[in-house]
Amino acid sequence: MADKSKTATLTIGSESYDLPIYSGTAGPDVVDIRKLYAQAGVFTYDPGFTSTASCDSTITFIDGDKGELLHRGYPIDQLAEKSHFLEVCYVLLYGDLPSPAQLEDFESRVTNHTMIHEQMMYLFRGYRRDAHPMAIMVGVVGAMSAFYHDSTDISDPWQREVASIRMIAKMPTIAAMAYKYSIGQPFVYPRNDIDYASNFLRMCFAVPAEDYEVNPILSRAMDRIFTLHADHEQNASTSTVRLASSSGANPFACIAAGIACLWGPAHGGANQACLEMLREIGTPDKIPEYIARAKDKDDPFRLMGFGHRVYKNFDPRARVMKQSADEVLDLLGVENNPTLQVAKELEKQALADDYFTDKKLFPNVDFYSGIILEAMGFPTSMFTPIFAVSRTIGWISQWKEMIADPQLKIGRPRQLYQGATKRDYVDIENR
């Protein structure tokens, strides 16, 4: 926390209250209101947390006006181009680029934790085959606390480290198993001789009846999608993980809470909702109708994959994803993919419309990702599980940072009460 060189003065009636202002290494200053209620007897009011910093963090910085995203200071476009997902995991988890030896050790530790307890297979059998894979992931990840007791004591730094590696390593396995279960195919075990993204593709698409060769174009695209979704400051699901962890709950239960929050169409579920929207639009001539609906206050329809709480410029991840969509579809020989054509025309028409530009609504990470995932062979129901696989490193990194903070307190917001004031109970015979 930087020095308290500046102070804000809040005047309520005849009383004034001095509130310290802190500056970070980048981004807006913060006004420390922790003592406000004790001093002034009032709460601040910020439903949706549009102006609230919930914590200190050194992991990810977003400049919404510039459309800039940094992980431990490294720009996302450079990481997407030059790094790979497990190295990005190392950067997020430990704070800097690894040496070759550090990277080799980290990748080896993750690789050797990719299998799940054999008995967990039976958890899948309890679900209907048509269960959404996110419903399975919430359940199975939460159940990990029943199988990995030796890494649930959050006061033990070693157990925190083991739980972190286990989560990063096992999420692809669980997501792939959820997919296989939904299509009635046998589970495919992970392998130790292929990279993280290739392993995930193989666990999803290999069948016992024949050998499976990973397409290097697909594994590079998969790895880049993992990198682009890895972490994003204090978004809804990360804030959920932090709040759950603040009570001392075990890491697996907290990650399960994050998965549940990510599922929503306003958050990680937008990639599935966006592709379904693009399919519903179908052809470019229908775009004006949908843009009109998105602008209509009386119509709940919103352009999925558009807009963002923080970005008031292009989401830098969307730029990389759009370029990747062109490359992957071209390399896969998918000529003139109709969904991609609709997406590009929709983006063009929306960004030519004052409604979107005045409200600073641009494509976000979810606008193009579904097009690539669909071209790779995934059903829309797997889009958000893939987001969850990637975001696990973000949740875990933020969780570790919070648990290690000596100032850790349980998160317990207050409210503006608008309900009935005190009144006496009336017996039923008198009502």
Q: Please give the residue ranges that form the binding site for ligand SDX (CB under 6 A).
A: 48, 232, 235, 266-268, 270, 294, 302-310, 359, 361, 364-366
CB 260 to ligand SDX: min, Å = 14
Task: Decide whether 214 or 350 has the Cβ nearer to ligand SDX.
Answer: 350
Alpha helices in 130-283 (DSSP H): 133-143, 157-182, 196-205, 216-228, 236-245, 251-262, 270-281
The crossing angle, in degrees rounded to 10, of helices 157-182 and 196-205 is: 30
Based on CB atoms, which residue is closest to ligand SDX, 174 or 388? 388
Q: How far is the CB of 300 from ligand SDX (least distance, A)?
A: 10
Question: How far is the C-alpha of 365 from the C-alpha of 390, rounded, in Å?
Answer: 13
Q: Which residues pair with 9 in a beta bridge?
A: 18
- The active-site residue out of 223, 231, 315, 366 is 366
Among 296, 308, 315, 330, the active-site one is 308
Mark whether 330 is an active-site residue: no
* Residue with nearest beta carbon to ligand SDX: 307
Q: 98 vs 305, which CB is nearer to ligand SDX?
A: 305
Least separation in angstroms between residue 166's CB and ligand SDX is 23
In whole angstroms, how close is the CB of 340 to ligand SDX at the nearest point?
A: 17
Q: Which CB atom, from 141 or from 277, has the smaller least distance to ligand SDX?
A: 277
Nearer to ligand SDX (CB atom), residue 132 or residue 232: 232
Q: Are strands 60-63 and 15-22 parallel, antiparallel or unpaired?
A: unpaired
Nearest approach, Cβ of 203 to ligand SDX (angstroms)?
A: 24
Q: How far apart are CA 121 and CA 99, in angstroms?
A: 37
Beta-carbon count within 10 A of 41 CB: 9
Closest CA to 67 of 320, 312, 323: 312
Shortest CB 301 distance to ligand SDX, Å: 8
8-state DSSP, 59: S
* Nearer residue to ligand SDX within complex by CB, 219 or 240: 240
- Candidates 383, 356, 35; CA nearest to 229 is 383
Smallest distance, ligand SDX to C-beta of residue 308, A: 5
**Residue in the block written with tokens 């392993």:** 199
| DSSP 8-class letter at 306 | B
Question: Furthest-apart CA pair in the chain: how many Å?
Answer: 80
Active site residue 424: no
Residue 113 to residues 108, 259, 357, Cα–Cα distance (Å): 9, 20, 46
Secondary structure (3-state) at 200: helix
Please say whether the beta carbons of 58 and 1 come within 8 A.
no
DSSP codes, 256-285? HHHHHHHTSTTTTTHHHHHHHHHHHH-SGG
Cβ atoms 240, 404 nearer than 8 A: no
Question: Whose Cβ is closer to ligand SDX: residue 139's or residue 268's?
Answer: 268
Q: Could you list the active site residues? A: 308, 366
